[in-house]
Structure 1
Amino acid sequence: MKLDDEALAVLRDAIATVRPGSRMVPAATLRAATEALGSEVTVDLVATGSLGHPLVVLHPAAPREGADPCFATLSTREREVAALVAKGLRNKDIAQALFITVATVKDHVHRVLDKSGLDSRAAVAAAWSAHDVTSEAPRRADPPSR
Structure 2
Amino acid sequence: MSALVELTKTKKRSKQPPTEAQLQAKRDKAAERKRNQRAREKAREHAFVPGQPCSITIKLTADESAYLGKAMKLRALWSTSNYDMQEYLSTLILLDGQKLDKQIAEIPPCKNCGAVFPDNCNRAFYGESDCNLSSLAKGLKLL
Q: Normalising TM by the smaller chain, what interval?
A: under 0.3
Q: TM-score, normalised by structure 1?
A: 0.19
More strand by share: 1
Larger Rg: 2
Structure of greater relative contact order (alpha carbons < 8 Å, 6+ residues apart):
1
